[in-house]
Structure 1
Amino acid sequence: MKRYFVLLLLFVLAGGVFAQDAGLQETLSQGSQAITVGEQLLAVQFAEGEWETYRDDLTSLAPDAAINAYIATTNNTGLIWGVRENDIFDDVIIMADVVVTGPEDNGFGVSCRSNPANNGDGYYFEIGMDNTYRILAIENGEFFTLTGEGNWADMDVELTPIIPTTVMGVCSGDYLALYVNGQLIDEVKDDRFTEGLVGLMIQNFHEDTGYSAMFTNVEVWSTSTSGATGGKGDGGKGDGGINIGGLGGSKDDYTQAVQAILDDAGIELGNVLVDDDFSEEEGALENFTGENSHITRSDGLLLVDVRGYLFTFTQTEEAFADVVVAVDATTLAGEQAQSVGVTCRADSEFNGYGYYFEVEPNGNFWMGYVNEEGAFNLLLPDQTSSATINQGANATNQIVAVCVGDYLALYVNGELMVEANDTTFTEPGHVGVLVRNFNQETATTAFASFDNFRVWSATRR
């Protein structure tokens, strides 16, 4: 189950941006057309007035200057685009790093030569997290898929949900090419558009499910075209991705590793009450789609986004009293003012009452509770940050929370951050995970993912 609430606290954090691959000219040598990279026309700094801003009840397209990103979110079906206003280009390369949350078969990508009237006409380089792609032309509102014999096609690239995907479109003369993570996917020739705006896009095929994307590191380069080269490279599947498995390899190893962390505190793990690695479509923690929040399972991860000054959580149907909760949590926007964490003894009416254990991508941590009056009470030591916490974009931290009797403790990556005694909530309650967005701008979205969620019964020796 899941609800989202107006925040009770405000924190500020800072971090890095996603890295962009070098060697653009060498990358382009995979194509059948010789493309010469010219000057860099844009290294985008997102700000209101330069990129299109649009909001209605179902859709939001807006730059977020605070994290130098463009956020696209929709609960509606269809192709949605946002353009760089006022700058008209002809022969260009446009690239962006993209992180998405939502169904894998939805689309996202970049566009070029879009009609300055912003009617949707132009070229689109679109891919899905299900490893499919197409190069698309829209003319007078009609869709023309230029690749895959007029249909979406499979691509030989494996994408990882929590890792930014680099999408690059080449528009040089009548030559169009799509690259993903530095690998040539397909190329085609078409001459219906010769100049226009550059842009970013998403496409939602599911009427009852939301979809969000965060675009960063957007660059635009001029190009020129000469004769043919040796032809397409054979590509091959990439070796990208990171291992964010639990502390141990097998389930027994996982329990033993967590037990070793807790030995000094005298906490004894009992039976496994919940074990959810998010590999199935349904599990202990539910999916959710709302106006400002999405919680979805994809590729063995629980993906969460929340827009605006809110926090969102999903928790178990069953209530527990004395437990230890562990999860691997990844923040997908290092500069974003956000936190990730777990809950215990949360109320059954989903009013937000209960204990919270959270970390931020700037190294801060905190533990506390929301009482029945809605007030947040912190249970913290003098030092509230730690170098033990992995920081920045795509930083994964293992969070272990202890709720045994009146004893509460937060461990991150095997190290004790804070412990306290409190009796505000002693009755059984729900456990779950949460993402908190500290930004007060409604267009700002926080992104995170979770893996290896496990709950044990526990006692204190």
Structure 2
Amino acid sequence: MPNIPTLKPRMQLFLSLLLGALLSACVPIGQSAPQQTIPLGELLLDDTFTLQKGWEARESDWAYMDVINEGYRMWLTRNVYIYGLYRESFTDTVMEASTLLMSDNPKTIYGLRCRASEGNPANGYYFMLSADGAFSIRYGAGNAIEPLVKWQNHSAIYTDGRINTIRIICAGDYLALYVNNQFVADVTDDRYSRGFFGAALALPEATTLDNPADVVFDNVRVWAVGD
């Protein structure tokens, strides 16, 4: 799988960053059980996108993100990485969203974010899936995204047009990813303790308007971490 280089967006419509070694060779996953069990606390957000409630909305001739038809839709044709954030900062959270690919571009990369920094929103954590059935947990640092868990294949990720439900846990230094109610991977990292959550989309190479990376996020729920 190729890397995704930086392209600075026109008029700063989108924040993008260098994805040096974003995609490395996929290998089978080995871990089968989470290191921690994180209880759910107070429900902080339950968003079915009937209204625009604080999500970023941006548009250019090569990318788009906004609430439309009761979903948060993102599409992209350039080989960059974009993200849309919910502008409220949190510390320890569990986030879940339903995701549906709207195109059959097999190179689409999409997922959820937590703890995006207020000063530089490119920083923070990324929990990403690929349209061909792989995943990675990563962190952004300056002009690069580095792996905490490298790209690996996992059978929990649907690649046949069905909805993938993604759940991410950001609790203290503990980060975990679940897909379709199955544990996928976890890791510990203490670089970021607070920030915005959101959605992300990327392409490893440019494409055409009739075959973009195109995904809808829906049924977003965010909980505080319980006691």
Q: TM-score range with shorter-chain normalisation?
A: 0.7 to 0.9
Structure number, greater radius of gyration: 1
Instruction: State TM-score, norm by structure 1.
Output: 0.40
Q: Which residue of 2 aligns with 1:36?
A: 39
Offset, 1:145: 0.7
Per-residue deviation at 1:202? Answer: 1.0
In the TM superposition, residue 118 of structure 1 has moved relative to its aligned partner by: 5.3
CA distance in 2, matches of 1:207, 1:219: 32
* Distance in 2 separating the partners of 1:120 and 1:53: 17
The one-letter amino acid paired with 1:58 is W
| Residue in 2 that maps onto 1:457 | none
Asked whether 1:62 is paired with 2:66, we answer yes
For structure 1, the 5+ residue unaligned runs are 1-29, 226-461
Q: How does 1:154-193 map to 2 (within 5 A)?
A: 154-193=153-192
More relative contact order in 1 or in 2 (CA 8 Å, sep 6+)? 2
Q: Which amino acid aligns with 1:123?
A: Y
TM-score (norm 2): 0.79
Q: Any idea what SS the aligned residue of 2:90 has?
A: coil
Q: Distance in 2 between matches of 1:73 and 1:200?
A: 12
Instruction: Give the deviation of 1:198 after TM superposition.
Output: 0.6
> In structure 1, which of residues 214, 222, 225 is the aligned counterpart of residue 224 of structure 2?
222
Matched residue, 2:85 = 83
Note if 1:197 corresponds to 2:200.
no
CA contact (8 A) 1:129 1:161 kept: no
Q: Which amino acid aligns with 1:90?
A: T
In structure 2, relative to structure 1, the CA distance for the partners of 1:42 and 1:94 (3 Å cut) is: same
Contact kept in structure 2, 1:125 and 1:135, CA below 8 Å? yes
Shift of 1:119: 3.2
Secondary structure at the counterpart of residue 57 of structure 1:
coil
Q: Deviations over 1:214-245 (max 9, x none)?
A: 111111011147xxxxxxxxxxxxxxxxxxxx
1:262-296 Cα shifts (integer Å, max 9, x gaps) = xxxxxxxxxxxxxxxxxxxxxxxxxxxxxxxxxxx
Quote how far apart the aligned CAs of 1:105 are: 3.2
Gaps of 5+ in 2: 1-32
Cα RMSD, aligned residues only: 1.6
2 CA distance for matches of 1:192 and 1:186? 18
Q: What residue in structure 2 maps to residue 52 of structure 1?
A: 56
Q: Equivalences for 1:230-249 in 2 at 5 Å? A: none
Query: What is the CA deviation profile of residues 413-461 of structure 1, one whole-angstrom value per residue up to 9, with x for unaligned ones?
Result: xxxxxxxxxxxxxxxxxxxxxxxxxxxxxxxxxxxxxxxxxxxxxxxxx
Query: 1:117-172, CA deviations, whole angstroms, 9 ceiling, x for partnerless residues?
Result: 45311101101121111001001122111013xxx111132514331100111100
What is the alpha-carbon distance in structure 1 between the residues aligned to residue 79 and residue 37 of structure 2?
A: 38
What residue number does 1:400 align with?
Answer: none
- The answer to whether the 8 A contact 2:44-2:223 is kept is yes
- Work out the CA distance in 2 between the residues paired with 1:55 and 1:38: 35
What is the Cα deviation at residue 34 of structure 1? 2.6
Distance 1:155 1:74 in 2: 25
